[in-house]
Amino acid sequence: MRDPSATILLEWYDAHARDLPWRVGPSERKAGEVPDPYQVWLSEIMLQQTTVAAVRAYFRRFVEKWPDVRSLAAAEDAHVMAEWAGLGYYARARNLLKCARSIAQDHGGRFPETRADLLRLPGIGPYTAAAVAAIAFNRPETVVDGNVERVMSRLFSVETPLPKAKPELVALATRLTPAERPGDYAQAVMDLGATICTPKSPACGLCPWSGNCQAMAAGRHLELPKRAAKTARPVRYGIAYLARRADGAWLVQTRREMRLLGCMLGWPG
């Protein structure tokens, strides 16, 4: 039986879902349109540590150049890295290619449909596997990103600071995840966190869960989620060598893949 809170949120999502280029909206889903697993996966990789606003243009360019996973798998590394330039966290682009080639070569160009099988692909972790399984294949998986953590922290007034609270928040989110429309529900919670239950200025008066929100009832919604005190980052020192020819050309080297800024050009050191 679906939790009443899930029903309330899905009704809100049906009316207020964000229009995103990789998303099949609730009305389209009801009309029989299904999400493209390739676009769901590509968007989730791009959105890691990157805002929706920044990703939109990159996503459109990628799907124009490489409209499916087979075409991306056949792309040259340098071309993909060039298109990725500006998004940052370049290990994501390298893992994107590894994953695309694994799907093309080992899975006949078809994405696995379960979280367990998706986790076996290179570059896909628990969050991305759950997101693709739920959104693309409507599997009843619990999808928990930073937005969902914040919503759950406030809804249930979780006092445990992050990151220690993560298992508790996942358990609470799992309780609410419905067997029906799990893909829409996953996107609904993320939309709620991104547009209503925001970190600094939550629009509680517009929130469909405001009547059930324990933190709001206690007047503590701005205090949650709590976060553990950050430890000081170590200071590291190194030496780089600069060499320049008489014609003005600089000597650079390709950094090792598993190091900081792996596979990028940099000064020898």
d(CA 62, CA 111) in angstroms, rounded, equals: 18
d(CA 170, CA 149) in angstroms, rounded, equals: 8
Q: Which of 188, 230, 234, 251 is nearest to 11 (CA)?
A: 188
Which residues, including other chains, have CB under 8 Å from residue 128's CB and lie 6 or more apart? Answer: 41, 44, 45, 48, 118
Q: Residue 195 burial (CB < 10 Å; 0-12/13-18/19+)? A: middle
**Residue pair 96/123 in contact by the 8 Å Cβ criterion:** yes
Angle at 158 between CA 6 and CA 228, to 5 degrees: 130
Helical packing angle, 77-84 and 91-106, nearest 10°: 140
Which amino acids are annotated catalytic?
Answer: 44
d(CA 47, CA 50) in angstroms, rounded, equals: 5
